[in-house]
Amino acid sequence: MSGVSGKVDWNPGAYARFRDQRLRPALDLLNAVGQMGAGDIVDLGCGNGAMADALRARAGGREVIGVDGSPAMLEKARATNGYASLQQADFNDWHPRRVPGLIFSNAALHWVGGHEALMPRLARMLGKGGTLAVQMPHQNKAPSHRVWLSLVEELFPGRVEKMGTPGVMAPVKYEELLAPLGQFRLWETDYYQRLTAEAGSHPVRRYTESTYARPVLAALDPDEKADLIRRYEEVMQAAYPVRADGTVLFPFRRLFFTLTV
């Protein structure tokens, strides 16, 4: 799910390969929404539309609006017929056409920085009784993510701009920023995901290359990319051993919060 346009576009097929693992946190976030205002439901970072049906089931007559920065993802979302309308926009520039009752953002806002300004701005868009519900990966310090950056800098110094998930702050910062604005809840969950190995590849590589590692891999030529992937998989074999049945038990931490104004 992407909110930044003008960069390497998303591969919906690669992203959908792990649809079940990615959908579970989104459903948990939606289940945590206890109150919505009278306005539209905005799926901010709707991606390929995986949450369209679940959001419509909670809509209670409200329109469900999808927003994303990726044309390829929006094309997939359009095929679901789950949204009243779809908008292509950068999250930092987007503004709703009508006052939303719920701004729902699953695994999207970590791709943009400036959360000190962005989160209060989103909260101010809500009508009375509206809710902002956000889930973001909080995995940057784990080997699955950290090793992509350390290896590419070791192998190809200076070739890849400093990247990652620039928007994720320390959890206490969100509490300090948003709790004064309304009813605020904050929590983290570790999801233990059983990933299946594919022939000739480590499953954690397959899982991360379609999201977190996209900017790294896009900056390299094919031979460089192959070298980086080979080295990454060597480290993953030690960090996340493949079991006899060909699977890996992969812990993935996610940060959640809701704010009702």
113-146 tens-digit pLDDT: 899 999 999 999 999 999 999 999 999 889 999 9
At 34, the pLDDT band (50, 70, 90 cuts) reads very high
Q: Do the domain assignments include residue 2? A: no
Percent of the chain's residues with pLDDT above 70: 89
Token pair belonging to 19: 């649809």
Non-local (6+) Cβ contacts of 192 within 8 A are 249, 250, 251, 252
Rounded to an integer, the average pLDDT of 75-86 is 96
**Sheet harboring 40-44: ordered strands across?**
85-88, 64-68, 40-44, 100-106, 131-137, 247-260, 183-196
Token pair belonging to 88: 């292509």
Instruction: Considering only residues 204 and 165, tell me which one the structure prediction assigns the higher pLDDT.
Output: 204
Q: Do the domain assignments include residue 90? A: yes
Judged by phi (left if over 0) then psi (alpha if -120 to 50, else beta), residue 101 lies in alpha
Non-local (6+) Cβ contacts of 25 within 8 A are 106, 107, 135, 189, 191, 254, 256
Q: Other C-beta atoms within 10 Å of 58: how many?
A: 15
Q: What is the pLDDT of residue 143?
A: 95
CATH of the domain at 143: 3.40.50.150
Q: Do the domain assignments include residue 103? A: yes
CA-closest candidate to residue 12, choices 53, 68, 70: 70
Q: What is the pLDDT of residue 175?
A: 98
Q: Do the domain assignments include residue 117? A: yes
Between CA 75 and CA 28 the distance in angstroms is 25
pLDDT greater than 80 at residue 226: yes
Between CA 226 and CA 243 the distance in angstroms is 24
Q: Say how many domains are in the chain.
A: 1
pLDDT greater than 70 at residue 81: yes
Q: What is the pLDDT of residue 16?
A: 42
Q: Do the domain assignments include residue 87? A: yes
Q: Do the domain assignments include residue 249? A: yes
Cα-Cα end-to-end distance for the chain: 26
Rounded to an integer, the average pLDDT of 64-77 is 96
Q: What is the pLDDT of residue 211?
A: 80
Q: Do the domain assignments include residue 151? A: yes
Q: Do the domain assignments include residue 80? A: yes
Domain of 17 in residue numbering reads as 12-260
pLDDT greater than 90 at residue 176: yes
Between CA 69 and CA 46 the distance in angstroms is 9
